[in-house]
Structure 1
Amino acid sequence: MWFLGLTSNTTPSAPGTRTLIILIVWTIWRERNNRIFRGISTTAARLFDGLRDEAGLWMAAGAKGLASLVGNLSRE
C-alpha cells in the first residue's frame, strides 16, 4: 500500500503527510455529503481554496507536521 510508505515513522515528514492525507480525505468526504444530501456542489477551484483555508486553520491550531510539509499557505 502506497500510504504506508509515505507515512512511515522513519521519515521526517511522516506526521505532516498523515495530517495532509486526513485533511484531503475529510474535505472530499464533506463535498460528497454536500452533493448527496444537500444537492450542493463546489467547483474544483473552490474545493482547493477551501482545502488551503482549512489547512491554515489546522496549522494555526497546532498541526506542526503539516506546517513543515506545506509551508506558508497565504494567498497573494
Structure 2
Amino acid sequence: MGAWLLWKHRNFCVFEGVNPCMDDLLRAIKDEEHLWCMVGARRLASLSVGQAEVAG
C-alpha cells in the first residue's frame, strides 16, 4: 500500500508539476489505512502507519 501511494504521489508531482510533500503523502497513507481498517483489515491497524512523525 505504501509503495503504491508513493508511486501515485510521485506521478502527481511529475505530471501535474506539484512539489513533493511528505505531509501529503503521510496523510494519504493514514487515510488509506483508515479505509482498509473500516472494511475489516484489522491487523493493518497494528502497524500504526498513520502515527509516523515527519522529522524536520
Give the TM-score band, short-chain normalised: 0.5 to 0.7
Provide the residue aligned with 2:3 in structure 1: 25
TM-score by length of 2: 0.66
Larger relative contact order (C-alpha < 8 A, sep ≥ 6)? 1
The 8 Å contact of residues 27 and 51 in structure 1, kept in 2 or not, is answered as yes
TM-score, reference length from structure 1: 0.52
Query: Cα RMSD over matched residues?
Result: 2.3
1:56 lines up with 2:34 in the alignment: yes
Report sequence identity in percent. Answer: 35
Q: Over alpha carbons, which structure has the higher Rg?
A: 1
Any stretches of 5+ residues in structure 2 without a counterpart? 51-56
CA contact 2:2–2:29 (8 Å) conserved in 1: yes
Aligned length: 51
